[in-house]
Each structure stands twice: as C-alpha cells, then as structure tokens.
Structure 1
Amino acid sequence: MSRFTDPLTGADAVGDPTAPELTDGFGEAGEPGGANAGDRDEGTVNKTGTTTVGIATDDGVVVATDRRASLGGRFVSNKSVQKVEQVHPTGVLTLVGSVGGAQSFIRTLRSEADLYEVRKGESISIGALATLAGNFARGGPFFAINPILAGVDEEGSHVYSIDPAGGVMADDYTVTGSGMQLAYGTIEGEYDEAMSMADARDLAVRAVEAASERDTGSGNGVYVAEVTGDGVDIEGFDDTDAALAER
C-alpha cells in the first residue's frame, strides 16, 4: 500500500488500496531500473498511444479522446477504451500512457478528492487537485503518464496538463499523447477564447479526428466529456462523425 503526504493538510494519506503495484520493470516515477527491471517487455504492456484534447470555455470545459489501446504501438489490443474518467464532482482526468499506470493514477486521485470532501465538507478546487496530481506523478509508483485534468470550480473553467515529472501547466486548451502535433494543428487556427461549449466540442472532436487519420496510436472513435458547474457528462462514439452529429 502506497503512502503519500497530503499536500493540503500535511498529514499522511494512504493511496488507493485496490491499485495494483506498478514498480516492476520501472523505477520511481516511471524511470527504468525498478524492481525486476527487464522482466517486462515493452511490447507486452498495454498502452493507449493516444490523442487527448482539453478546451476551456466561459461555460465549462470539453475533453475529447480517441479509444484505441495498443501493445508496443504495433498491435491494436482494444478498440473501445474510455480514456477520460470523472475524478471530481465537476472534474475529469484523461488516461494517457501505460493503461495500468493511468488507471491506478485515476483511482488514487479520485479517492483523494473524495477524502478531501469528507474531511472538509466541500469539493477540492481544480487547481489544488492539479497540484495533488503533479505531486503524485512526481513521487508515486506510476508508469510515465501525461494526462489532462480539466474541470470547473468557483474560479471558473480550467484545463491542466500533468507531465511525467510532476509539472503542472494551465492553459486555455491543451493536447497530450502521440497524436498531439496533428491535433494542435487543427486547434491553433480555430480556437477562440469566446467560443461556446458546442463549438469547443466540435473543435475537440475534429482535432481527435485529424490525429486519428495519421497517428497509428490513435483511432477507433472518440469519447467526449462535457463539464460544467452542474456536473460531468461523458459519452462514447464508434466514429467521430457520429460525435459531430450529436451537436
């Protein structure tokens, strides 16, 4: 069972007891050379490859991801992976990198957000949750991941990228994953800070669609999460055309 220091209270906090141990073959924070290094073949680890997009608007945030998982980037092992999960009453986190590490990270962050709410009687802010996520990425026993944390709180709409070393960067929009360059190319020319949620959804889906055309790690449809002050709505589509038709 992993133990962490709660950055908000200074008290010891216990990580998710159901999370699998992920140190085999990797050192701390996903570096090579951990316990039983060399026992795990990179080609046998499920990875998402992936394209994940987060866009903030005045009314909320939109997150879109593809649905493909692969083995070593050479074989499509799953075509319907949900790569965005709710971790907060008004916040979501994407799944990027090793599937096992990302799933463990999501479970741990969700449990810490729930624990904060029980202790304080209110939801943790998205900014504080991003700091917590960065601390876990830097010091926790997770595979190298690069998720997006997006949500809404009293201060407005937020989109953060969390890098494998624990860096936390806020922006109006961000993209992570193997298809990021292609997705960024779609967003850069069309993003407008005054755009509506509907327009942000359309742009995020088209960015994932563009990446899926050329990036072998991305494809097989799209998941779309829309987050407002009222909550989180996540929906999956077998293809991006179906997602665009839902506007």
Structure 2
Amino acid sequence: MGEAEFLPGTTVGIRVADGVVLAAEKRVSYGLYLMSKSGKKVYRILDRMGIASAGLMADMQTLARIVEAEMRLYALDAGISPSVWTTAKLLSYVLYERRLFPYFAEIVVGGIDEGGSHLYSLDPIGAIIEDDYVALGTGTQLAISIIEDAYDSSLSIEEAEKLAVKAVEAAMKRDAASGDGIDVLTISKEGAREKNLTWPLPR
C-alpha cells in the first residue's frame, strides 16, 4: 500500500505561468466514520501564498498555524515577504524535526514571488518536490488522472482553477474519504482569492 492510501481526503495543486491553484474537498473522516462535512484543508498564507493538505485535521491545522506565524515573523524581521521556497523549506524543517513521531499529513505549498509561480509538495517527514501539478491523499489516483489528461503549462489561471475543481470532483465521486464541497485558493499577480463550492457543484 502506498502512503497516500492512509491519508484521507483529496488535495490538488496546479501551477501555470500566471499563478497557482490549490483545491481540496471538505470531508473530515476517521476510518469508517464521517466526523464533519465542513473541514478546511486550504489555507491562505500572507498575500500571495497558500498551503493545502490531506491527512488528519488536527495535524493540518497545527502545521497551518505554525507556517503562518513563522512567515509573518519572517516578513516583519526581514522587511520583505518570504519566497515560496522559504515557506516550503521552513515547513520541511518542522516536519523533519518530528520524523520519529510524524505529523499525519501531506502538504502542498504554492504561490507567487519575485521568481514567478511555484508549487512544492512535502511528505510527512519533510521531503520537498517542486512540480507543475500534484495530488495528495486517498483520492490521488482519480484526481491526478484528470489533471494529467488536460494539463498544459500554457493554461490560464482561470482554466487551471476549473481543472483543479474537476480533479477534486472526480475523486469525490469515487473516494469515500472525500466529499461535501470544495475549497479553492487561486493565487495570481493580482492577489489571492478564495472560493467555497458546495456539493453537488452547479452545472
């Protein structure tokens, strides 16, 4: 069994030239139990950055608070906004320090900085991979198949957003740990905007 099979939920990230889209469904489940239909797995960090995750809700929330607090302190101390790589690397250190008793979460970090748009995925002990798109959690195989079929680096940020939603929706239809709506964070040079899409999605 792959690691993703143990991390409930579905989260995706897509990078294009104009920005980054992070999306995740809202179901919170533990084993065979549905605990909530309104879990938040996508978090805005500063103005043009965000993280999204799959795994246990408590661990995801803890990591989001740590990253946001540390990056705000960095911005105050340095007088400049941190790069996306700085944020991913900080999160990598936090995860690696807990490698013997790891956080039960996989994370994707995305955003825009002076070097352009970036997307990084991290496993529970801090390994970092930069890529154009990523899917995490129990719905990975369903979501990634949708993205791989349609992804092109020339997509507009609006097209990338639609593709991210389509990928998560596909996972929600077949993965019991995924469902109940989709949170979307779209980051472009104009800033970040959040959407909360209820299920079933309008046609």
Give the TM-score taking structure 1 as reference length. 0.76
- Aligned match of 1:106 in 48, 64, 75? 64
Q: Distance in 2 between matches of 1:215 and 1:69?
A: 13
Alpha-carbon contact 1:225-1:233 (below 8 Å) kept: yes
Q: Which structure's residues are more often strand, by fraction? A: 2
CA–CA separation in structure 1 for the residues paired with 2:104 and 2:155:
33
* Partner SS, residue 95 of structure 1: strand
Instruction: Give yes or no for contact 2:106–2:124 (8 Å, CA) kept in 1.
Output: yes
CA-CA distance at 1:240 after TM superposition: 5.5
- For residue 55 of structure 1, what is the aligned residue in structure 2? 14
Does residue 67 (structure 1) correspond to residue 26 (structure 2)? The answer is yes
> Aligned ranges for residues 83-98 of structure 1 at < 5 Å?
83-98=41-56
Shift of 1:88: 2.5
Counterpart contact for 2:13–2:135, Cα < 8 Å: yes
- Asked whether the equivalents of residues 41 and 60 of structure 2 are also in contact (C-alpha less than 8 Å), the reply is no
Q: How does 1:58-207 map to 2 (within 5 A)?
A: 58-72=17-31, 74-140=32-98, 143-207=103-167
Q: Distance in 2 between matches of 1:173 and 1:207?
A: 11
**Secondary structure of the residue that 2:105 maps to in structure 1?**
coil
1:48 Cα offset (Å): 7.2
Which consecutive unaligned segments of at least 5 residues does structure 1 have?
1-46
Once residues 166 and 56 of structure 2 are traced to their aligned partners in structure 1, the CA distance between those partners, rounded to angstroms, is: 25
Secondary structure, in 3 states, of the residue corresponding to 2:81?
Answer: coil
Structure with more contact order per residue of length (Cα contacts < 8 Å, sep ≥ 6): 2
| Structure 2 spans left out of the alignment, 5+ residues | 1-5
The answer to whether the Cα contact below 8 Å between 1:48 and 1:68 also exists between their aligned partners in 2 is no
**1:222: Cα distance to partner?**
0.7
Matched-pair contact (CA < 8 Å) for 1:101–1:142: no
Whole-angstrom distance in 1 between the partners of 2:7 and 2:185: 18
Aligned residues: CA RMSD: 1.6
Query: Structure 1 residue 219 and structure 2 residue 179: aligned?
Result: yes
Distance in 1 separating the partners of 2:109 and 2:199 = 24
Q: Is the 8 A contact 1:48 1:217 kept in 2?
A: no
Letter in 2 for 1:56: R
Cα distance in 1, alignment partners of residues 199 and 184 from structure 2: 11
Amino acid at match of 1:155: G
**Distance in 2 of aligned mates of 1:59 and 1:86:** 18
Q: Do the aligned residues in 1 keep the contact of 2:7 with 2:104 (CA within 8 Å)?
A: no
Q: Is the 8 A contact 1:51 1:65 kept in 2?
A: yes
Q: What is the number of residues matched between the two proteins? A: 196
Secondary structure of the structure 1 residue equivalent to 2:106: coil
